[in-house]
Amino acid sequence: MMSEAMAYTRDDMDYLEHGSEPLSLRLFRPAGPGPFPLIINLHGGAWTQGDLSGCQARDEVLAKAGFAAAALDFSHAGDGCSASSVDINYAIRWLKSRAGEISIDPTRVALTGQSSGGHLAMLAAMRPDDERYTSIMLASDTTADTTADTTADITTDVRCVAMTWPVINLLSRYRHALRLRRGDGPPAWAGTIPERHDLYWQDETNMAESNPLLALERGEGMETPPALWTQGQPDQIHDYRDPESGLTLNEPERFAARYREAGGQIDLVYVDQADRDQASYAPLVAFFQKHLG
């Protein structure tokens, strides 16, 4: 359907089924023939709630700026750790395989995500070929409209990744919430966070393994595409210091330092927490204009 402003189109489509349950995506595209750079957008919700509708405002901004944007539904909550990453990895390949059909450029694909979605976006960007995430094969009949000769040629790598206040160190955030909840006058946000971590991640071992920050500190060989972290301040949920790290840096600065040490380029942009959604749009658009053209 065409938006009221006639600036972009919006289409819903199913991209994957688990049993009889389809997973959907919502594709926003600027008016015109394309092909357009594509940004895949991942919603937040502490890995346990939320859906693609949470990406609407950001995707409208991106479409008006000349980008295609695909908001995803993906497995979460009791589906267990790595379930989201499997779906996201498949969605990247599925969208690239239909490049001609949906008027996107499969060589200019990026990821973005908010809060837990920011974590999942960075994890997908850093581990594009991880066999745990590539376990669902792309059907052979999906290659008709792509420049790739076979499904094996369709990669999951992305040009860049932009995060808005991500939960980049899920283990430290879990322990951060537990500490606050044990103290006097704990903040409301900490009330259910540990249980939501437990539901999806099951234990601290999984929280450490699927952890972009700790993976960098372990020296794992990972991809480090150009990245953006936009962070509201003050934000006790995402911008805090991990006392177990032995560092004076808050987690955004800690991750940025480790990312650069691994050879990656990352911009860390701070905005006012009270207006963080609106304030995040300009840096986001500028970042994608720089890296996707």
**Angle at CA of residue 126, ends 108 and 255, nearest 5°:** 115
| pLDDT given at position 20 | 85
Query: Is the Cα dihedral 66, 42, 193, 217 positive or negative?
Result: negative
Query: Is the Cα dihedral 60, 237, 276, 108 positive or negative?
Result: negative
| pLDDT given at position 142 | 44
Q: CA–CA separation, 253 vs 89, rounded Å? A: 27
The owner of tokens 């720089």 is 290
> What b/e sequence results for 35-66 when a residue is b if at least 16 CB atoms lie within 10 Å of its CB, and e otherwise?
bbbbbbbbbbbbbbebebebbbebbbbbbbbb
Helix, strand, coil percentages (3-state) for the chain, rounded to 5, are: 40, 20, 35
Among residues 39, 102, 47, which one has the least CA distance to residue 281? 39
| pLDDT given at position 150 | 54
Other C-beta atoms lying within 10 Å of the C-beta of residue 201: 22
Most distant CA atoms of the chain, gap in Å: 61
Q: Are 20 and 90 in contact (CB under 8 A)?
A: no
Tokens of 7: 């600036």
Which residue(s) pair with 13 in the sheet? 25
Q: CA–CA separation, 287 vs 281, rounded Å? A: 10
Q: Which residues of the chain have pLDDT under 50?
A: 1-4, 141-149
Pairing status of strand 36-42 against strand 160-164: unpaired
Structural domains present in the chain? 8-292 (3.40.50.1820)
Q: CA–CA separation, 204 vs 224, rounded Å? A: 25
| pLDDT given at position 258 | 98
Q: How far apart are the first and last CA of the chain?
A: 26
For residue 192, the SS3 value is: coil
pTM: 0.94
What are the CB-based long-range contacts (under 8 Å, 24+) for 238-243?
A: 238/115, 238/165, 238/166, 238/167, 238/173, 239/165, 240/172, 240/173, 240/176, 242/169, 242/172, 242/175, 242/176
Which phi and psi angles does 243 have, rounded to 5°?
-65, -20
Tokens of 17: 């089924």
Q: CA–CA separation, 195 vs 84, rounded Å? A: 18
Q: Which amino acid is at 220?
A: E
Q: CA–CA separation, 105 vs 12, rounded Å? A: 19
